[in-house]
Structure 1
Amino acid sequence: MAEEASLEVAMTLIMYGGEAKSCALEAISAAKKQDFKQAKEKLAQAQEALLSAHHAQMEMLSKEARGEKTDYSLFMVHGQDHLMTSIAFLDLAKEIVELYQKIDK
């Protein structure tokens, strides 16, 4: 059962991390076209996806802090990697959108 729960968390991290990265890419694309309203909406959607992933991650960390064993797998490593790169990607996307806004002025 613990293995199934770990797999579910890993898949949640992969899914929401991927969604966040996709939304961040769409934000950059919108900003490139000077559609800053759309860019901001996509950045907000990316942030929401990361928040969902963060909740799943915190649930897993809380269980481990209580002494409950967590099964580690390549899926979990991939999920954590996906989440962390998506966070970094969103941070860069915010900066790129801001730069496009400055260029547009």
Structure 2
Amino acid sequence: MNEVYEQTCFQIISFAGTAKSCFLEAIECAKAKGDPSELLKEGNDAIQQASISHQKALTLDANGELEVGLLLIHAETILSSAETVRDLSQTIIDLLINK
């Protein structure tokens, strides 16, 4: 069970971290007057994968098959942060493009 726990947590961390980086890079791209659409797509794809891993964790937890520890809490924090950056990035990009 420990291996499943670690694998699931690291999948969430990896995908969510990638997503957050893509959204931040998309903002920088828009600041430089580039087209951020590919970075936004890549970020959305990564956050979708993180969400799939998170759903797996929730299912395992509901079945009593998942330990809850600091690593999972860390993974969920990174996922939450990535979701926040995603939500704000589009607004920031819109403001940069329309100014």
TM class by shorter chain equals: over 0.9
Q: Distance in 2 between matches of 1:62 and 1:21?
A: 24
Alignment correspondent of 1:55: 52
5+ unaligned residues in a row in structure 1: which ranges?
none
1:28 maps to which residue? 27
Matched with 1:19 is 18
**Structure-1 separation of matches of 2:10 and 2:69:** 11
Query: Whose Rg is larger?
Result: 1
Select 2:82's aligned residue among 86, 93, 100: 86
TM-score, structure 1 as length reference? 0.88
SS at match of 1:71: coil
CA RMSD of aligned residues (A): 1.1
* Residues paired across the two proteins, number: 99
| Cα distance between partner residues in 1 of 2:51 and 2:16 | 10
5+ residue gaps, structure 2: none
Provide the C-alpha distance between the structure 2 equivalents of 1:40 and 1:99, rounded to a whole number of angstroms: 15
Identity of aligned residues (%): 26
